[in-house]
Structure formats: structure tokens, C-alpha cells
Amino acid sequence: MNYMFEKCSKIHRLSGIYLDRQLKSLGIRSGQLMYISLICGSDGLSQENIASELKVDKSSVARAVKLLEADGYVRRTVSMSDKRRYRVYATEKARSVYRKTTDITGSCEAHFTGGLTEIEGELLNSLLDKIVRKTV
């Protein structure tokens, strides 16, 4: 048997551990990075939009955003069009961290794919995209 899901799970865990070590100097963890990256790239998203984009439940987003806000990475404002919703905006602190993470995430990817040829890397990326599209 191939055990593809076991391998994906192991890659996820190991890459998270590796990335956390690299991000430690910035004071964030890999779980926070996915929120910071999305918010910096799409300022003003609702928490519902964040949940949809990251494929996580709304309560997880609410907890994460609350912690990011307490740490000064984001600010929330009540939506003008729907007073029941919050819009989430990156602070300069988040933008500064985000700019520094580009090199870190690139080196993490290079670490894990370093044994692949360029063609193998492109094929892997293409296959992973195909799997993601199929599962969404």
C-alpha cells in the first residue's frame, strides 16, 4: 500500500516543526503565519472569508484573530455593511513580520524539496495543486 495520507501528514508535521524553528526569532509560529499571510495579502477580510479561504472553522478563526489582535498583529473593525461582522486588517507589525517570512518559507520549501530535480519539483507542485482542487 502507498499510505499517501500518512506521508502527507508526516510532511505537514515535519514542515511545521522546521518552520516553527525558523520563525522563532520573529516571535510567531507556523499556525499564525497562515493567518498573517492571508490578512496581509487581502486586508479587510471578514472572519468568515478567512475561514473559507483557509478551510478552517469559524471558531478557530475567531480564536486565532483574537490572539493576533492581542499580540498587535491585526486590528478588527465592525463591518459598515453588516454590523454583526468584523473586518480584519494587518498592522505594521504584521506587515513587517510578513516581509521577513518570505525568505524563511522559501528556505523551508528548498529544504524539503532539495533532493528533487527542477522537473520533479514542478511535477510535485502540479500534482499537489490537482489534489487540492479535487478535495476542495
Model pLDDT for residues 94-131, shown as the tens digit of each residue: 999 999 998 899 999 999 999 999 999 999 999 999 99
Q: Is 8 inside any structural domain?
A: no
Cell numbers standing for residue 36: 498573517
Q: Is 60 inside any structural domain?
A: yes
**Tally of domains within the chain:** 1
**Whole-angstrom Cα distance, residue 46 to residue 87?**
4
Q: Is the pLDDT of residue 1 over 60?
A: no
Confidence of residue 86 (pLDDT cuts 50, 70, 90): confident
What is the pTM (predicted TM-score) of this model? 0.84
Q: Which residues constitute the domain of residue 28?
A: 19-135
Q: Is 4 inside any structural domain?
A: no
Beta-sheet strand order (sheet of 45-46): 45-46, 86-90, 74-78
Q: In the beta sheet, which residues pair with residue 77?
A: 87
Q: Is 33 inside any structural domain?
A: yes
Of residues 79 and 14, more confidently modeled? 14
CATH number for the domain that contains residue 113: 1.10.10.10
Cell numbers standing for residue 84: 454583526
Confidence of residue 32 (pLDDT cuts 50, 70, 90): very high
Q: Is 9 inside any structural domain?
A: no
Q: Is 67 inside any structural domain?
A: yes
Query: What are the phi and psi torsion angles at 62 (to 5°)?
Result: -60, -45
Q: Is the pLDDT of residue 76 over 60?
A: yes
Residue 42: the pLDDT is 92
Q: Is 91 inside any structural domain?
A: yes
Residue 89: the pLDDT is 97
**Whole-angstrom Cα distance, residue 83 to residue 77?**
10
Contact 90/36 with Cβ under 8 angstroms? yes
**Whole-angstrom Cα distance, residue 68 to residue 35?**
9
**Grid-cell match 507589525, residue found:** 93
Mean pLDDT over 55-67 rounds to 95
Q: Is the pLDDT of residue 17 over 80?
A: yes
Question: What's the pLDDT tens digit per position in 38-59?
Answer: 999 998 999 999 999 999 999 9
46-69 residues labelled b (16+ CB within 10 A) or e (exposed): bbebbbebeeeeeeebeebbeebe
